Every structure is written in structure tokens, then in C-alpha cells.
Amino acid sequence: MRDLLAISQLDAFYGDFQALFNVSLRVGEGEVVAIVGSNGAGKSTLLKCIAGQIATRSDAISFDGAPIGGERTHLLLRRGISLVPEGRRLFPSLSEENLLIGGEHGRKGPWTLTRVYDLFPVLKERRNQRSTSLSGGQQQMVAIGRALMSNPRLLLCDEISLGLAPIIVREIYERLPQIIGDGMSLVIVEQDIVQALAASRRVYCLQEGRVTLEGASATVSREQIAAAYFGV
């Protein structure tokens, strides 16, 4: 499988505080990769680095064979990298306006407003409601739809199940095959290990900013996960 994203010896900082240490990972074309770890492990920081929100060495991150470390977010959108951020971060305007904004700086491709509404029919019903009036699950659907409207080749999802009822989480995860059906690559950051392993082909575990486990999601054991997760 050809790598779409390759990260090599990535360090990341918030001022003088180092959040990531020598992180290396890869994501193949059309592959689903999960990143797990406890709070503060560096998962969100890693996605922010990929999405251009945290400065990195240019050669620490490559996308489709080109170095992109530190490139600005709007340029990465045009390359085909889109982030569904933790906490959703929607504009308080109408839900449909949030979706349309997602398509303003992205690529041309199969994801249109109609297709997002086919994926999440409830959003069509709520399209003229302010995003702040939607349920948490509906807001998460808007956040995912907004990212899809940029027609990414690589979709980064940061804690998409956080704060949602289990039935809503299942509903969102059940739609992942439709989301990646055109060959899109997907990186899922999750604290729900069971959900992450079920949805992904490979898994990485971060602990205190370092990769402590890499393996096939179908074959890593609970003991391996626990050791990598808690550093025991």
C-alpha cells in the first residue's frame, strides 16, 4: 500500500513545552488508522501538526510525497487534508452555512451539499437552524460534513465520540464506510479503544507524546494496548 501521509521523527512544542517526541507514523491511501491514548498523550497535538495548526520541520511530515510540515492550513485544505476538530468549533450561524463554508477553500470532488445531506438526512431537516440549537450529535455531523465539503484525500477526526450518547456514536461510526468509499484515507483519534480498533486497519498508541505501540488493529491484544496506554 502506497503511503499518502508519512511522519518521521516529529517533535512538537507549545512554547518551551515539548508535547511530541520523535513521533513517526504512516497512513496508506484508502487506509483507516486509529490513534489512541489517554488525555494529554499528544493525540490532538499530532493532528494539529498534520493540519498545519502547529509549526513543525518541513521534512517531518510529507503528504503524497511532498514535504508539508508547517504549511498553512488553507494550503493544506487545497492539497486535500481536512480536520474535524475536538469540540466541533462550529460557527453560530445556520447549519447549512457551516457546511457551505467547508467547501470554500477545498478541492473539487464528489462531496457536495446534496451528498452530505444523503449521508446525514437529519441535517437537511435542520439546515435552517442555527448550529448552536442542534444536539451534540447533530453538531458533530455538521462538523464532519463541513470537513467533507472540502473533498479531502485525508480526513482527520479528533475525538468524534466525545460527549455523545453511545447510540449517536454508533450512528456516526456506521457511516464511516460511506465516507471513505471513494478511497479517502482516515485518521481517527479516540479514547474509546474498542470503537477505534473496530473501525481501523492499524492503530498507534501515544503515551506522554511518544509512540508506544503500532500494530494491526485486528491482532493487537488488550494486554498490549493496556501496557502502551498506561506505560506499565
CATH (domain of 186): 3.40.50.300
**Could you give phi then psi for residue 36, rounded to 5 degrees?**
-120, 165
The H or E element that residue 9 is part of is strand 3-14
**pLDDT the model gives residue 147:** 93
* CA distances in angstroms from 134 to 117, 141, 168, listed in the order given: 15, 10, 13
> Cβ neighbours of residue 224 under 8 Å, at least 6 residues apart?
213, 215
Give the pLDDT of residue 87.
Answer: 67
Region of 163 (left: φ > 0; alpha: ψ -120 to 50; beta: rest) is: left
Supply the range of the domain harboring residue 179. 3-230
What is the reported pLDDT for 88? Answer: 66
Q: What is the pLDDT at residue 1?
A: 74
Q: What pLDDT score does 135 carry?
A: 87
Q: What is the pLDDT, as a whole number, of residue 165?
A: 85
Cα–Cα distance measured from residue 149 to residue 137, given in angstroms and rounded to the nearest whole number? 18
| The pLDDT of residue 126 | 86
Tally of domains within the chain? 1
Per-residue pLDDT at 132: 85
Residue 166's contacts (CB-CB under 8 Å, 6 or more residues apart) are: none
For cell 437537511, the residue is 124
pLDDT in tens, the chain (232 residues): 799 999 999 999 999 999 999 999 999 999 999 999 988 899 999 999 999 999 999 999 999 999 999 899 999 999 999 999 876 677 777 788 888 888 777 788 899 999 999 999 999 998 888 888 878 888 898 899 999 999 999 999 998 888 788 888 888 899 999 999 889 999 999 878 888 999 999 999 999 999 999 999 999 988 898 888 887 6
What whole-number distance in Å separates Cα of residue 203 and Cα of residue 232? 18
Q: How many CB atoms lie within 10 A of CB 18?
A: 12
Q: Calculate the alpha carbon distances from 197 to 49, 55, 90 in Å.
A: 23, 30, 28
DSSP-assigned states of every residue in 117-134: HHH-HHHHHTTTSBGGGS
